Structure 1
Amino acid sequence: MAFPVLLDRSFGEDDITVLRHEVIARLAPLGLDGDRRHGYILAVNEVITNVVLHAGGHGRLVLRVEDGSVWCLVTDSGPGIPGDLLDDIQAPEAFEVGGRGLWLAHQLCDEVTTATGPIGTSIGLRIRLDVARES
């Protein structure tokens, strides 16, 4: 069964703001509201920013609806994420610069999947659409 693809786009450093706005526009008609929508957009933004900063500067984003959820799959062809960064994802210290992207994604999404190796990384971000709307 094919699932509706809302957005399929390659991106680079100059595309982050435009891509974030495209994701916002695609989420609008789906009924994802309030803090959940804002949090999901923040998680997507963090992951695409990580691609630009740490994985060669270019990636691909696919946004789709599947089984009552929105999935955002971000892929790159960078060197992979070092295993120690994935073993126990915790919030960085208060004054530590960087290191919050994956941690935030895990806090803001219903599910985060990661596949990484020397030829690239794929990160999936899922948020359910059936959660009660906030007032």
Structure 2
Amino acid sequence: MDAAPPPVDPVLLDRSFGHDDITVLRHEVAEHLAAVGLGSDRRHGYLLAVNEVITNVVLHAGGAGRLVLRIEDGSLWCVVTDSGPGIPGNYLSDLRAPEAYEVGGRGLWLAHQLCDEVTTATGPIGTSIGLRMSLDVVPDSR
């Protein structure tokens, strides 16, 4: 009788990070995205969204956070948490592309443009942002 295959761990990456880890973390996430077969355009877009969110943590939420990348129900989920002061409401209520002359303000807007779903839970003890990208989309030809 054949033994059942071992269960696949849905968690691909679970890592704390700070300012000095952004580049390494981005490369680690990129390797996992390629390994699960996410198409080139979607992979690059998703990676850009992840990079924007982790950069926001370092710049605006105390400089350190945690990233968990997992597969769940046919999708990639990247959840980034921090223990910063929370995101001001006006940044969440009016997600629009900033004007060309505005400095900053593109991270969350970009994440909403590039991901299939973005979830946000924020308050005075921290923020959790979830970025979902479906794996069920037909890969592009690159």
TM-score with structure 1 length normalisation? Answer: 0.97
Q: 1:1-135 alignment to 2 at 5 Å? A: 4-135=10-141
Which shows bigger deviation, 2-11 or 31-40?
2-11
Which secondary structure state, in structure 1, belongs to the residue aligned with residue 80 of structure 2? strand
Which shows bigger deviation, 88-97 or 72-81?
88-97
Q: CA offset at residue 132 of structure 1?
A: 1.0
Residues matched between the structures, number = 134
Give % identity.
81
Question: Separation in 1 of the partners of 2:53 and 2:108?
Answer: 7
Q: Report the AA paired with residue 118 of structure 2.
A: V
Question: Separation in 2 of the partners of 1:27 and 1:104?
Answer: 18
1:55-111 per-residue CA deviation (whole Å, 9 max, x = no partner) reads 000000000000000000000000000011101200100121110000000000000
Q: Report the AA paired with residue 95 of structure 2.
A: I
Which secondary structure state, in structure 2, belongs to the residue aligned with residue 24 of structure 1? helix
**Alignment RMSD (CA, Å):** 1.1
Which shows bigger deviation, 79-88 or 26-35?
26-35
1:30-72 per-residue CA deviation (whole Å, 9 max, x = no partner) reads 1101110000000000000000000000000000000000000
Write out the 4+ residue segments of structure 1 that deviate beyond 6 Å after TM superposition: none
Question: Separation in 2 of the partners of 1:3 and 1:109?
Answer: 23
Question: Separation in 1 of the partners of 2:108 and 2:37?
Answer: 25
Larger Rg: 2
TM-score with structure 2 length normalisation? Answer: 0.92
Q: Report the AA paired with residue 37 of structure 1.
A: R
Q: CA offset at residue 3 of structure 1?
A: 6.0
Question: Separation in 2 of the partners of 1:3 and 1:115?
Answer: 25
Which secondary structure state, in structure 1, belongs to the residue aligned with residue 102 of structure 2? coil
Q: Report the AA paired with residue 33 of structure 1.
A: G
